[in-house]
Chains A and B, each alone.
Chain A
Amino acid sequence: MDAESLLLSLELASGSGQGLSPDRRASLLTSLLLVKRDYRYSRVLFWGRILGLVTDYYIAQGLIEDQLAPRKTLYSLNCMEWSLLPPATEEMVEQTSVVKGRFMGDPSHEYEHIELQKVNEGDKVFEEEVVVRIKEETRLVSIIDQIDRAVAIIPRGALFKTPFGPIHVNRTFEGLSVSEAKKLSSYFHFREPIDLKNKTLLEKADLDPSLDFMDSLENDIPKGSWSIQMERGNALVVLRSLLWPGLTFYHTPGTKNCGYIYVGTGEKNIDLPFML
């Protein structure tokens, strides 16, 4: 959700029970403004909150003019002092995939993971236990990156591709219509397209190159990894990710109000096929 319209967005996303206490709201409104100034972002998003056992991580993201450029991620424990997270790498994701369970809430906390490694000594092969230490900060980075790539979404038309390549916020976006808002195909993944290149020419024929440059939600695997609901009559559409429970996307049809927030434990729901 945009840092500027934080209060409205929070109100809209509150149907899932994910709110912020008044003091957190006030401090976010103050500190995100300073973040925007200090880091010279063109847009600051309040990304969400990862619930730790001791404390929570509050996450914000800074965007530059090109909306799909790699984003900078910041975290804070008290909503006032923000620290920059390093960009996620493949290696990090692989390394932290062995860590299970909840976040602690302490960035310097180290998870210990015991790995069995084969050691060759002459002819004999030993199995040796190696303790791998993984910092929670690394895990935080990779989880945020995974969530962003998997379930960060944006309605169709909210961004447009300029002829020069960069992707900008569409000022003329007036929201989806009610009938469009009920379809998964009207929402895009907020990331560089992956599946789009694999589409057949026939499928690409109907796409508008300036709008349809991202992957649409409807082809997500498994089918049914999104719950789409119309709330308050038809005045609010809410999408909840079932793969990453905690991610809520809201949009008021006919207006520009849209955004997503993640409030959850930072764990992927791998039981999804059993639960549907």
Chain B
Amino acid sequence: MEDSTTQKQEKENQKSGEEERPWGETTAASSQDLTGLSAPPESEQGPETGPQSRSSPPGSPQSRDSTPLRDLTGPGASSAPSPPEESSSSPLLAPTRPGPEAPGQALETASVIPEAETPHSDNLKPSSDKGESTHQTCQSAGDAFPQFQQTNGHLNEPRDVTFSNSAQKELRFDTFQEEDSSSGYGLDEAEPEAAPSVLEIAIQNAKAYLLKTSSKSGLNLYDHLSDMLTKILDERPENAVDIIENISQDVKVAHFSKKLDTLQNEYEMLPTYEIAEKQKALFLQEHLEGADQELEDEIAGNSLSNVMESAFYFEQAGVGLGTDETYRVFLALKQLTDTHPIQRCRFWGKILGLEMNYIVAETELREGEDEEEVEEEDVTEERDNGDSGSEEDDELPRSFYKAPQAIPKEESRTGANKYVYFVCNEPGRPWVKLPSVTPAQIVTARQIKKFFTGHLGTPIISYPPFPGNESNYLRAQIARISAGTHVSPLGFYQFSEEEGEEEEEVEGGRDSFEENPDFEGIRVVDLVESLSNWVHHVQHILPQGRCNWFNPIQRSEEEEEDDDEEKEEEEKEELDYIEQEVGPPLLTPISEDLEIQSIPPWTTRLCSNLIPQYAVAVLRSNLWPGAYAFCNGKKFENIYIGWGHKYSPDSYTPPVPPPVCQEYPSGPELAEMDDPSVEEEQAFRAAQEAAVPPAEEDEDTDEDEDDYD
């Protein structure tokens, strides 16, 4: 700012200086007007002097004197030690010849004053646009006020004398021009046009900022500052600068403002209170349930896993939600077990979403399961019947494309639907039961990669159309993550004997297990050093989308008995050769997991190398970032906190579009013959005429015609 204005001034000075030089010598006295001493009658009231004299009343003495001095010492430093300066000061003491100390003094004053003044000149520039009141206060409140009068005296005197010297007049005039233009009042001809507009805007912005009224106290800084300055000037304290804070406080205390009634209610942060209210219910649960306490005790006996204990171990591993949130989740799980018929309940983890997150609870229900699933199955069966039943009209060929085998979902409590999952967005909000997962959803979910939004009803828009909304996608991802990352130390679970054998006959693999009562624990060091000490205890999900192999051929025989026999045969021919998909059986060590392009699928480590004897083993999945497991030898737990996506070092590639169907191959049944030619028909007629008995003729012709067709 400073630089730009001074540059402008210099330019103007060049302009105006050139104009003035001719008359400057003759109107030496006219400049004396400004200093207010003798006003000679012969002074030519030129257009230039007019504004100068006009400028004097609003432009205070400080502003007029400060600028030339600043310019002398500041940007135009070259002029400061110049001879005019010396001689201008010299007349003060000795009119003829300057003494050795005289210039020194003058320079001193010249150098001291600007320091005191520069802030003032800065203040005054803006204040010229402000109200008169501040203008005055600024003037009068300045500490350097007395100094100015002195300096005025100093500087005015030399001027009178120096103006008799024509050689110095030019410089004098220059300085006066500077002074005029810089103080904002300018000469008429050399009015700076761009500068005030930028300045004014800046000043207006600053003023608007100062005038911004605080919503709390109803004050604004502008009034406050003027009040403070008024108070200081009224009271004239000795150490105003030291007690400025107290003065400010006093002014504020003295400020009287009446609190007016407003019709609008004050704004409240509703969601904060709402969630606090809901979470309060979590903490108060004990008192609420009083009625059937015994029954609750029975149910909730040990259905809930100890979330805080496993959270402690996970915290050792550097995973977890933080202490208070974990406890809230714990309470929310408690609420879940109290309100639902739940046999076992475990904190599965947290899936992050774009707008809200999901807290997932893994539960096993007791006998009472709800009937939603049955309804869903009915719907799908109806659809199937609709497809197969409408085969009565034989007139036109119907589309014989059949949708690929719909693979039924697994029964609840088996396979991927072994557990029931409840989700909520925040502890305290209601739990929502996720629907059970279908193989089609799992298969599709493997091909897409979408962020969760946090609203269960959001439709999933993806290229292989996803059958269901976000709740189904969430459920499918949970199934995939559980199948991939739920592990336990070797020996903790064993196959249960009675059930296992039965299953073996039917399915070719055992799918149930029980806790091993003789489990003695594993050394933590072994768990860290060898991956073969960890085993999967959740069934592998086959490419088909189920845990247990479902043979699509069997189904086609059972369900489509009413279909034509031919069709069934065809299908058998096509499908007979599908091999059964087999995955790794239950309780397979994770050391046999597939590598992800030379990246090991698991990372194990000890949570603390400093005190290894009390450390726990931490297992981290590299396939599903966010999945962790710990084991301290006896206890173990799995948790997942993350976005719910599988890791792959390559970028996601959308599945290729399905192959285009081939058209029917052109064969004898499509190709037609040429029309019968004249020769053929004549030959035919000749043959007819040659035919002997009219009675047999008809039959023959029929046969012949058939041939031609």
Which residue numbers of A lie inside 8 Å of B, CB to CB?
11, 14-17, 19-24, 51, 53-55, 78, 100-102, 178, 224, 227, 229-235, 240, 242, 245, 264-265, 270-271, 274-276
Give the residue name and chain of the A residue nearest to B448 (CB): A274
Cβ–Cβ < 8 Å partners of B276 in chain A: 233
One digit per residue, 1 when the CB lies within 8 angstroms of any chain A CB and 0 when it does not, for chain B 618-633 equals 0010100110000000
Answer whether A15 and B651 are a contact pair too, CB < 8 Å, given A22-B316, A102-B599. Answer: no
CB distance from A205 to the nearest CB of B (A): 10
The residue on B at minimum CB distance from A233 is B272
Shortest Cβ gap from B478 to chain A (Å): 16
18 additional contacts (CB under 8 A) given A14-B320, A100-B649, A227-B451: A11-B322, A11-B324, A15-B322, A15-B325, A15-B357, A20-B318, A21-B315, A23-B611, A51-B620, A53-B603, A55-B605, A101-B599, A227-B352, A229-B356, A271-B651, A274-B654, A275-B451, A275-B652
Give chain B residues whose Cβ lies under 8 Å from the Cβ of A16. Answer: 352, 641
Which residues of B have CB within 8 Å of A23?
Answer: 608, 610-611
A245: min CB distance to chain B, Å: 6
Q: Quick check: is B467 within 8 A (CB to CB) of the other chain?
A: no
Residue of B321, B355, B625, B650 near A15 (CB, 8 A) is B321
Which of chain B's residues 623-648 have a Cβ closer than 8 Å to chain A?
625-626, 641-643, 645, 647
State A235–B600 Cα separation when bound (angstroms): 40
Q: Are A17 and B641 closer than 8 Å at their CB atoms?
A: yes
- 4 cross-chain pairs, A with B, having the tightest CB-CB distances, nearest first: A17-B641, A14-B322, A233-B272, A271-B652
User: Shortest Cβ distance from A126 into chain B, in angstroms?
Assistant: 29
Does B203 sit at the interface, judged by CB under 8 A? no
- Interface residue B307 (Cβ < 8 Å from any Cβ of A): no
Binary interface profile of B, 397-433, with partner A (CB < 8 Å = 1, else 0)?
Answer: 0000000000000000000000000000010000000
Contact yes or no, B315 A22, CB < 8 A: yes
What is the CA–CA distance of A104 and B93 in the complex, to the nearest angstrom?
Answer: 85
Q: Residues of A contacting B622 with CB < 8 Å?
A: 53, 102
Contact check, B599 vs A230: say whether CB atoms are below 8 A apart. Answer: no
The CA-CA distance from A156 to B151 in the complex, in Å, is 47
Q: Using CB atoms, name the residue of chain B closest to A271.
A: B652
Known contacts A16-B641, A245-B643, A276-B451, A233 near B273 by CB under 8 Å: yes
A-B contacts counted at CB < 8 A amount to 102
CA distance A54 to B625 in the complex (A): 15
In the assembled complex, which residues on chain A have CB atoms less than 8 Å from the CB atom of B318?
19-21, 24
- Say yes or no: B275 contacts A232, CB within 8 Å: yes
**Chain A residues within an 8 Å CB radius of B355:** 227, 229
The answer to the question of B597 belonging to the interface, with a C-beta cut-off of 8 Å to chain A, is yes
A100–B650 CB distance below 8 A: yes
Residue of A nearest to B353 (CB): A227
Which residues from chain B sit less than 8 Å from chain A, CB to CB?
A: 269, 271-276, 315-325, 350, 352-357, 426, 448-451, 597, 599-600, 603, 605, 607-611, 620, 622, 625-626, 641-643, 645, 647, 649-652, 654
A264 proximity list for chain B (CB < 8 A): 625
Q: How far apart are the CA atoms of A259 and B324 in the complex, in Å?
A: 20
Residues of B within 8 A of A51 (CB): 620, 625
Chain A residues with CB below 8 A from B450, complex form: 274-276
> A212: shortest Cβ distance to chain B, in Å?
13
Residues of A within 8 A of B451 (CB): 227, 242, 275-276
Chain A residue contacts of B322, Cβ below 8 A: 11, 14-15, 19
- Partner among A21, A54, A229, A271 whose Cβ is within 8 Å of the Cβ of B603: A54
Min distance, Cβ A207 to any Cβ of chain B, angstroms = 12
Q: Which residues of A contact B274 (CB under 8 A)?
A: 233
B655 → A minimal CB distance (Å): 11
CA gap between A264 and B642 in the complex, in Å: 11
Measured between beta carbons, the chain A residues less than 8 angstroms from B647 are: 265
Kindly report which residue of chain A lies nearest to residue B603, judged by CB atoms: A53
Instruction: For A230, list chain B residues within 8 Å (CB).
Output: 271
Task: Please give me the residue from chain A that is nearest to B463 by CB atom.
Answer: A274
Bound complex: CA A229 to CA B643 (Å): 14
Roughly how many angstroms separate A14 CA and B320 CA in the complex, as a whole number?
A: 7
Given contacts A101-B599, A101-B649, A271-B652, contact A229 B357 (CB under 8 A): yes
Min Cβ gap B524→A in Å is 15
Q: How far is the CA of A265 from the CA of B316 in the complex (A)?
A: 20
Contact partner of A178 among B269, B426, B599, B642, CB < 8 A? Answer: B269
Closest to A27 in B: B610
Q: Give A245 to B271 CA distance when docked, in angstroms.
A: 27
Instruction: For the complex, give the distance between the alpha carbons of A11 and B609 in Å.
Output: 24
B209 — nearest CB in chain A belongs to which residue?
A: A208
Q: A253's closest neighbor in chain B, by CB? A: B269
Give CA–CA (A26, B317) in the complex, Å. 14
Q: What's the Cα separation between A264 and B318 when bound, in Å?
A: 13
CB distance from A101 to the nearest CB of B (A): 4
**Complex Cα spacing A62 to B193, Å:** 48
- Interchain nearest-CB distance for B444 vs A (Å): 14
The CA-CA distance from A234 to B270 in the complex, in Å, is 9
Q: Which residues of chain B come closer than 8 Å to A17, judged between CB atoms?
A: 319-321, 350, 626, 641-642
Asked whether A19 lies within 8 Å of B320 as measured between CB atoms, the reply is yes
Assess the B354–A227 pair: CB atoms within 8 A. yes
Which B residue's beta carbon lies closest to that of A20? B318
Give every chain B residue within 8 A of A224 (Cβ-Cβ). 354
A11 to B451, CA, bound (A): 25
| Chain B residues near A270 (CB-CB < 8 A) | 651
In whole angstroms, what is the CA distance A102 to B623 when docked? 11
A23, A24, A233: residue with the most chain B Cβ atoms closer than 10 Å: A233
Query: How far is the CB of A21 from the nearest CB of chain B, in Å?
Result: 4
Find A234's partner among B271, B600, B610 (CB 8 Å cutoff): B271
Contacts of B357 in A (CB 8 A): 15, 229
A28 to chain B, nearest CB (A): 12
Residue of B317, B355, B625 ringed by the most chain A CB atoms within 10 A: B625
Nearest-Cβ distance from residue A3 to partner chain B, whole angstroms: 18
CB-nearest residue of chain B relative to A224? B354
